[in-house]
Each structure stands twice: as structure tokens, then as C-alpha cells.
Amino acid sequence: MSNKIADTFNEFGTPVTLFACLGCESTFTVCPAVEDKHLDQWSGCLGRGCSTYDDSRDADKMFDEGKVRRVGDRSCFTVIAGSKDTPQ
């Protein structure tokens, strides 16, 4: 069962997928747009306070803890997984 509402674009023109959260009934987008074969990975918004929250998938927490970092500017970037102890 998919909770996908539509494929659309964000304010920067980047393709995103719009979903309805099965936990809190809010809407949320995933960027970049989700391929149909991966729709099952997004049943909830994963927002704090929602029953779908999963701290292992909390991107803000990963950045705050130094587990990932962004390289490049907003138009073209790469997320690099690692730990705070990994030399940069």
C-alpha cells in the first residue's frame, strides 16, 4: 500500500514526492523524488512527535552528530556517511 499523493517539484525546481503520513495524517515531501520501487520505505513522515519517528533515520540528528556531512553547494551536493572520529 502506498501513501503517495503525487510527484511534484519543490521551490528550487527539484523533483520531490508528496506523501500522506500514516502516523499523524500530515503531508510531507521526500527529496529527491522516490522511485516507485522504493515507495514502501516512506510510510510515515518520521517527524519527532509522530508515531513513525525513527531516530536511526533522523537526518538532522545524523548531521548534528557528525555521522554525515554535506560537500558542495545547494545545487549539487553529496552526502558522505562517516563518524565524528573519521578524519575529514
Residues 47 and 10 in one domain: yes
Residues 9 and 47 in one domain: yes
Residues 25 and 67 in one domain: no
Q: Do 46 and 54 touch, CB atoms closer than 8 A? A: yes
Residues 44 and 81 in one domain: no
Tens digit of each residue's pLDDT (9 = 90 or more) over 44-68: 888 889 999 988 888 788 888 888 7
Predicted pLDDT at 65:
85
pTM as predicted: 0.67
Determine the structural domain holding residue 22 and report its residue range: 1-57
CA–chain centroid gap for 20, Å, is 14
How many domains does one find in the chain?
A: 2
Tens digit of each residue's pLDDT (9 = 90 or more) over 11-57: 999 999 999 999 999 999 999 999 999 999 888 888 889 999 988 88
Residues 46 and 70 in one domain: no
Q: Do 27 and 42 touch, CB atoms closer than 8 A? A: no
In whole angstroms, give the CA distance from residue 54 to residue 56: 5
